[in-house]
Amino acid sequence: MGHACVIGHISIKDTAQWAAYRDQVPATLVPWGAELLLRGRLAAVLSGAHGHADTVVIRFPDLATARAWHDSAAYQALLPLRRQAADVTLLLFEE
């Protein structure tokens, strides 16, 4: 099995709350051996349609670890703040 990536497509609703959420996420990744690969702002849509302005890409050792992080108490505790701060679509991919 290969690595797994969680990709988040983000539309920020409240920049202050988003900053508070974003600052807390990295600590939730540490126990899972995850690596934050990208936090970026959309520069252009080259083909098709895309409705979000920001994207995050996080790499995990495998699918099970990515799911365990997402379901962890530490990350789940941040979800109310995330929901207030932004509309987020999280996708899980296997490399």
Range 9-37 average pLDDT: 97
Q: What is the pLDDT of residue 62?
A: 97
Residue 52 CB-density burial (10 A; 0-12 exposed, 13-18 middle, 19+ buried): middle
Give 73's pLDDT tier (boundaries 50, 70, 90): very high
Percentage of the chain beyond pLDDT 70 is 99
Name the residue with tokens 């979000």.
Answer: 52
Residue 9 confidence (pLDDT) above 90: yes
- pLDDT, the chain, mean: 97
Position 1 scores a pLDDT of 65
Q: Which fold has domain 4-94?
A: Alpha-Beta Plaits (3.30.70)
